[in-house]
Amino acid sequence: VTAGMSFFEGKDITEAHVNERAKAGIFMAFQQPIAVQGISVENFIRNAKSTVSGQQQRIMPFRKKLHAQMEQLKMDKSYAERYVNDGFSGGERKKTEILQMCMLEPKLTMLDEIDSGLDVDAVRIVSDTVSKYHNENNSILVITHHSEILQHLKPDFVHILIDGKIVKTGDASLIQAIEANGYDAYKG
């Protein structure tokens, strides 16, 4: 942080550690998720869920829910036993990020270019899962350079960010204007 402050649900989280932000209900899916050798996807998510919720996760109910989410994401159940993102393709890494979101159930999710590197089918699967997850108890911020995922997600608001500043805000119709005119039309 070089300037300003960040607040979440009325609380200053500017200096909060990552684990404190996660416990508050904030989740970030990264553009380029890293591999974590030595811990399986299932153990990683189960430990994260225990830490965030403050409640130990019983293995069988947790595994049942994990496998159901993996099925929705068209992920083979064997990925639960593999090390986090180790040897995963870009699409598999992105699906693992969305799997984490669904299992951790954050109040605020930030998806940083979750569509980057995904094929057409994976974009549809990821966006369908995100849409099913979203409800009145959570918010999702999607950061993207491409409109394809937004055609599936139906955003409430669209913001154009240039050089760190919001230069235009609108509804979903702003997506078509960007497609027609490009971002240069919004540079000051």
| Overall number of domains in the chain | 1
Amino acid found at 18: V
Asked if residue 167 belongs to a domain, the reply is no
Instruction: Look up the domain containing 33 and give its range.
Output: 7-154
- CATH number for position 142: 3.40.50.300
- What is the per-residue pLDDT across 74-133, written as a single tens digit (0 to 9) for each? 999 999 999 999 999 999 999 999 999 999 999 999 999 999 889 999 999 999 999 999
- What is the per-residue pLDDT across 62-80, written as a single tens digit (0 to 9) for each? 999 999 999 999 999 999 9
Asked if residue 32 belongs to a domain, the reply is yes
Asked if residue 54 belongs to a domain, the reply is yes
Q: How many CA atoms lie within 13 A of 23 on its CB side?
A: 11
Asked if residue 163 belongs to a domain, the reply is no
**The tokens of 24 are what?**
């508050």
Asked if residue 11 belongs to a domain, the reply is yes
Residues 45-65 as b/e (b if ≥16 CB within 10 A, e otherwise) read bbebbeebeeeebeeeebeee
Could you tell me the pTM of the whole model? Answer: 0.91
Asked if residue 45 belongs to a domain, the reply is yes
